[in-house]
Amino acid sequence: MKTLYLITIIIVMALGVVHSALSFKKFEHFSAEAFWFFSAGLVLIFAGIANLMHYQLQLPLSFRYCAVINILLAAFTVLLAVKTHLPTALLVAIFSVIMTFLMLL
């Protein structure tokens, strides 16, 4: 399970990198929408970094922080996937839920 947790963390971080990188292709000019799009990728990267720290440290404090981060991320991405019906939103929601579940085990 621990290896699956690490793989899920890496996938979430990779999704964040791809999402942020695509903001330069999707938007031609720096606009508020472009920054919001880019920041969504950063959220995934930072959530992955927090989970990676918990994966390494296994401290009660890192567990509590990651629990809050993962539950909020999973709730938001699931609601986004339900609302938008976009395959990418569904992919992020699935991996956010998996990461939350594996972290709580």
pLDDT of residue 100: 97
Residue-wise burial string across 62-77, b where 16 or more C-beta atoms lie within 10 A, e elsewhere: beeebeebbeebbeeb
CB 36 within 8 A of CB 26: no
So what's the pLDDT on residue 79?
98
Structure tokens at 96: 């956010």
- Residue 58, SS3 per DSSP: coil
Query: Per residue of the chain (105 residues), what is the pLDDT tens digit?
Result: 999 999 999 999 999 999 999 998 888 888 899 999 999 999 999 999 999 999 999 999 999 999 999 999 999 999 999 999 999 999 999 999 999 999 998
Domain ranges of the chain: 1-104
pTM of the predicted model, to two decimals? 0.92
- Could you give the CA distance from residue 9 to residue 11 in angstroms, rounded to a whole number? 5
